[in-house]
Amino acid sequence: MTTRLAQAAGRFYAADKMELEEQINSCFLSEIGPGALPSQVTKTSTSKLLGLIVPHAGYVYSGPVAAWAYLEAAKMAEAPQNVILLGPNHTGYGRQIGVYPQGSWSTPLGELKVNEELSGEIAGLGFGLDEQSHLYEHSIEVQLPFLQFIFGSAFRIVCISLLDQSLETAGKLAEGLVKILKKESFLVVATTDLTHYENQEIAQVKDQKLVKAFQKGNPSEVYETAEKTGASACGLSPATVAIKTGTLLGAKQINLLKYETSAAITYDKSSVVGYASLTIEK
């Protein structure tokens, strides 16, 4: 059994367990964050949550925005048995669509086991099992400490890295996930950052249009909007997979919880990155 060691620890988030817990606490309690801790929310048996769309920059930059979505997940009466993680492949290594095959992923908060059977089923849809896609990629990894913080380590993970960002592939993957997930207890977590390295005013206009397209739940409109605006969202395909998977499973609303740019931390509005947290609900 293989264990994927944390690659982003010490860079995107703290490498020490206690420091990481404090860092995640501060994300929830930040002025940009939701202002409450998962331990303070009321659990509900009527949760309609199917998925999240969250950013994946360093915690100091996007962690408080991501915390908005994870606080909503913390309200679930029970932790999902499986978390399906969808992230962009920034490195270019590995397959066009790479499903991590086996073993576990390690973070400073402990290890999370891969659901090997479920991963194999998804890979068998015409994609493939592949460790190389995930070798140095951070986008999925930075979600894991947040998930461990709210759910512990009882759930299993399926990690899917998307180098192929086409609408066609996103649709095919979503349709396959729907067939498989109908019989599973799950939460889909897709990650994307939004506009990269534009000035604040331009980034906000582009991101507002793209987020509105996300909320309409129409994959074609998402891609058309990105093309028209020139939006440089790095995880357009993961977000689209989550949106289509949700709508095919009966999602009725996609809610924007929080939008912010890196300027809230750096105070530099000349070149920002946009971040948003959304929920996909029945």
Domains, in order of start, for the chain: 3-281 (3.40.830.10)
* 24-34 pLDDT per residue, tens: 999 999 999 99
| Cβ atoms < 10 Å from Cβ of 81 | 14
Give the 3-state secondary structure of residue 163.
coil
Q: Are 229 and 209 contacting, i.e. CB atoms less than 8 angstroms apart?
A: yes
Give 73's contacts (C-beta < 8 A, 6+ positions apart).
49, 52, 147, 150, 151, 187
Q: What pLDDT shows up at residue 230?
A: 93
- Phi, psi angle pair for 83, to nearest 5°: -115, 120
- Percentage of the chain modeled with pLDDT above 90: 95
| Burial grade of 173 (CB within 10 A; 0-12, 13-18, 19 or more) | buried
The crossing angle, in degrees rounded to 10, of helices 144-151 and 59-73 is 40
Q: What pLDDT shows up at residue 121?
A: 96
Least confident of 15-19, 77-81, 155-159, 173-177: 77-81
- The residue behind tokens 């962690």 is 63
Length of the chain: 282
Cα 214 from Cα 111, distance rounded (Å): 32
Q: What pLDDT shows up at residue 279?
A: 98
Give 183's pLDDT tier (boundaries 50, 70, 90).
confident
Q: What pLDDT shows up at residue 47?
A: 74
Cα 269 from Cα 209, distance rounded (Å): 19
Q: Are 219 and 170 contacting, i.e. CB atoms less than 8 angstroms apart?
A: yes
User: Residue 96 gets which letter from DSSP?
Assistant: S
The HSE-up count of residue 44 (CA atoms within 13 Å, CB side) is: 10
* 39-81 pLDDT per residue, tens: 999 998 767 999 999 999 999 999 999 999 999 999 998 999 9
Cα 247 from Cα 23, distance rounded (Å): 34
Q: What pLDDT shows up at residue 14?
A: 98
Q: Name the residue among 46, 35, 66 with its Cα closest to residue 193.
A: 66
What is the pairing mode between strands 186-191 and 49-54? parallel
Give 101's contacts (C-beta < 8 A, 6+ positions apart).
114, 116, 119, 120, 123, 129, 130, 131
Mean pLDDT over 110-118 rounds to: 97
Give 237's pLDDT tier (boundaries 50, 70, 90).
very high
Q: Are 186 and 246 contacting, i.e. CB atoms less than 8 angstroms apart?
A: no
Q: Is the pLDDT of residue 1 over 70?
A: no
Q: What pLDDT shows up at residue 154?
A: 85
**Single-letter amino acid, residue 143:** Q
Where are the alpha helices (H) located in 58-166, listed in sequence order?
59-73, 116-123, 144-151
Q: What pLDDT shows up at residue 45?
A: 72
User: What value does the mean pLDDT of the chain take?
Assistant: 96
